[in-house]
Structure 1
Amino acid sequence: MTEVITANDLGIRLQASDETALFKWFVASFLMGKRIQAPIAARAYQVLVEEHGCDSAQRLAQFSHRQLVSILGKAHYVRYDETTATRLSALAQKLVDEYDGKFGALCRTSKDRHTFERRLLEFDGVGPKTVEIFMRDAAAVLF
């Protein structure tokens, strides 16, 4: 049985106007969307976001690949550390470049929830599981 970890479990209080909370939950969802145990993904989230301050796309984009690999390793998120580091960097850069780093902008440019979810899938490394996890908690505040 897979353990379900919610935004609330991680201390993230989602609100439509809180870009930081939405970004934090997206990062957590991204990490949990991989074939890795939920507690390890949650720990990786805590190390990345809470300990190293990667709480916005702009901030995450400032970290080098090596730094991200090291952070993920510290959290024992080692099975996918190299690819995850690459994809986290790309995800942050795409969010900054195309949506000014904001989920609100991504949401406003989407005509409906389906379009929004399809746009999330355009981020490298984001698959249906990540979208499912993210939307489970974020849909209520975004739509």
Structure 2
Amino acid sequence: MDTVVKKLLHESGETFAEEAGIPLKDQPGALFKLLVLANLLSARISSDIALSAARELFEAGGGTARGMSRLTWQERVDALGRGHYVRYDESTASRLGDMAEMVQEKYGGDLRRLAIEAERDPEKAAALLKEFPGIGPTGVDIFCREAQAIWPWLRPYVDDQVKKGAERVGLPTDADELASKVPDKDLARLTSALVRVARDKKLADAVKAA
């Protein structure tokens, strides 16, 4: 493993899901939380605020599709407010409620069924994910980038943000070549780190100076 990759994993290799307190497991609760996080991170808002809002929603009981549905619209707004997700709080509260209802109605509250319906095909999974309110191409990238830690059939998931980060620190932008730099279990961590350097030139410069 080369020096740049080691430094990325050591200093910035926590996945966004882990940072939000989401255990990356192939379980209904963890997958729903990841979908919520992808929804929140899709907005033009800082990742720190999105992560804080996610933690507040989960603390309020919105960590499962059923739990999110049981929260009132105002309770969702209030949780988003406590996380300082105030610019989009009302529209996001509505979207999250609609999304939770859809997860229950279409997948019985269990997003592992989405993987089955997609026949474990990344393109089919992307199309199904886009059916959820608030999940567009950016949300799909966020979800799949993180979910590749638990769904091996998504690997290697390397989107444009990851490629931008890789280019900044002198790593290959080809998905297979980049994935070869780390064990499979660390690919989601590496892609998360590369998203961070894509957004933070100072961090990229510090990694290159290693």
Match of 1:8 among 9, 18, 26: 18
CA contact (8 A) 1:69 1:82 kept: yes
Q: Which has the higher contact order (CA 8 A, sep 6+)?
A: 1
2:26 is aligned with 1:24: no
Off by >3 Å, runs of 4+ in structure 1: none
Gaps of 5+ in 2: 1-11, 154-210
Give the letter for the 2:51 counterpart: A
Residue correspondences, number: 139
Q: Displacement, 1:6?
A: 1.7
Alignment deviations for residues 77-120 of structure 1 (CA, whole Å, 9 cap, x no partner): 11101110010000000000010011101111112121111110
1:56 to 57, 64, 75: 64
Structure 1 unmatched runs, 5+: none
Contact preservation (8 Å) 1:53, 1:59? yes
CA-to-aligned-CA distance 1:37-87 (integer Å, 9 cap, x gap)? 1111011011101x2121110110111111111111121111101110010
Q: Does 1:94 find its partner at 2:102? A: yes
Distance 1:53 1:30 in 2: 17
Contact kept in structure 1, 2:61 and 2:71, CA below 8 Å: no
Residue 8 of structure 2 is aligned to residue 34 of structure 1: no
Between the aligned residues of both structures, percent identity stands at: 36
Distance 2:16 2:113 in 1: 24
Structure-to-structure mapping, 1:70-109, within 5 angstroms: 70-109=78-117
User: How far apart are residue 13 of structure 1 and its match?
Assistant: 2.4
Change (3 A) 1:33 1:56: same
Match of 2:147 among 126, 138, 143: 138
CA distance in 2, matches of 1:104, 1:37: 29
TM-score if structure 1 supplies the norm length?
A: 0.90
Aligned CA-pair RMSD: 1.7
Q: Do the aligned residues in 1 keep the contact of 2:24 with 2:149 (CA within 8 Å)?
A: no
Alpha-carbon distance in structure 2 between the residues aligned to 1:70 and 1:11: 20
| 1:115 paired residue among 124, 132, 135 | 124
Between Structure 1 and Structure 2, whose CA radius of gyration is higher?
2
CA distance in 2, matches of 1:14, 1:66: 29
Q: How far apart, in 1, do the equivalents of 2:15 and 2:28 lie?
A: 20
